[in-house]
């Protein structure tokens, strides 16, 4: 099956950067800033939360958590790897398509588009707030 390629399965079974900064105390103006956001897919209940730790306009660390299918999990995992080290401004200027292309790097059939896009929507939400 095309959709469940080795890379997708690897990321869904061993998701990278999972967790949260909830127990780490960082306040505005100190070491850095934590931006966070979450969203869910109403048709299935999948939920994803992203936290970006930002220092001097650069994303230095990413943590995410959530419940989701293999596609949403792999998508969040890959995106979290990509975002680490990016300038906040550069990511803010990216279109959703660009974020999928550069940050996720795999595609799905239209029926699974929402699963793939959930992490992207969450990151867009964080950057727009």
Partner 1 sequence: MFEPEEIRKDFPILQRKIGGKEIVYLDSGATSQKPKQVIEAISKYYETNNANVHRGAHTLGDESTQLLEEARETIAKWIGGKSEEVIFVRNTTEAINLVAYGWGLDNLKKDDVILTTEMEHHSNIVPWQEVARRTGAKVEMVKVTSEGLLDQDNYKDKLKLKPKLVAMVQVSNALGTINPIVEMTKQAHKIGALVLVDGAQAVPHMKVDVQKIGCDWYAFSGHKMLGPMGIGVLWGKKEILNKMSPFLTGGGMISEVYVDHSTWTELPEKFEAGTPNVAGAVGLVSAIEYLDRLGIENVREHDKWLTVYGLQLIAGVEGVEILGPRDAELRSGSISFTYTGVHAHDVATVLDSQGVMVRSGYHCTMPLHNKLGVVASVRVSFNVYTTKNDIDRLVEALLEVKKIFGK
In the complex, which residues of this chain contact partner 1 (CB under 8 A)? 1, 3-4, 9, 42-46, 67-71, 109, 111-112, 115
- What is the residue whose two structure tokens read 């990278």? 16
| Minimum CB–partner distance for residue 12 and partner 1 (Å) | 9
- For partner 1, the closer of residues 90 and 113 by Cβ is 113
| Minimum CB–partner distance for residue 93 and partner 1 (Å) | 31
Alpha carbon distances (Å) from 15 to 86, 87, 101: 20, 23, 19
Judged on CB neighbours under 10 Å (0-12, 13-18, 19+), 84 is: middle
- For partner 1, the closer of residues 32 and 66 by Cβ is 66
- For partner 1, the closer of residues 29 and 45 by Cβ is 45
Q: How many CB atoms lie under 10 A from the CB of residue 97?
A: 9
| Per-residue tokens: 55 | 């220092």
| Minimum CB–partner distance for residue 67 and partner 1 (Å) | 6
- For partner 1, the closer of residues 46 and 61 by Cβ is 46
């Amino acid at each position: 099956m095309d959709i469940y390629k080795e890379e997708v399965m690897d990321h869904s079974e061993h998701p990278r950067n999972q967790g949260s900064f909830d127990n780490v105390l960082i306040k505005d103006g100190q070491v850095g800033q934590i931006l966070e956001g979450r969203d869910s897919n109403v048709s299935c209940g999948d939920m994803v939360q992203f936290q970006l730790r930002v220092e001097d306009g650069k994303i230095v660390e990413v943590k995410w958590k959530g419940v989701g299918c293999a596609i949403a999990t792999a998508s969040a995992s890959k995106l979290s790897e990509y975002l680490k080290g990016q300038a906040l401004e550069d990511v803010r200027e990216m279109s959703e398509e660009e974020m999928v292309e550069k940050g996720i790097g795999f595609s799905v059939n239209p029926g699974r588009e929402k699963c793939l896009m959930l992490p992207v929507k969450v990151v867009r939400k964080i950057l727009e707030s």
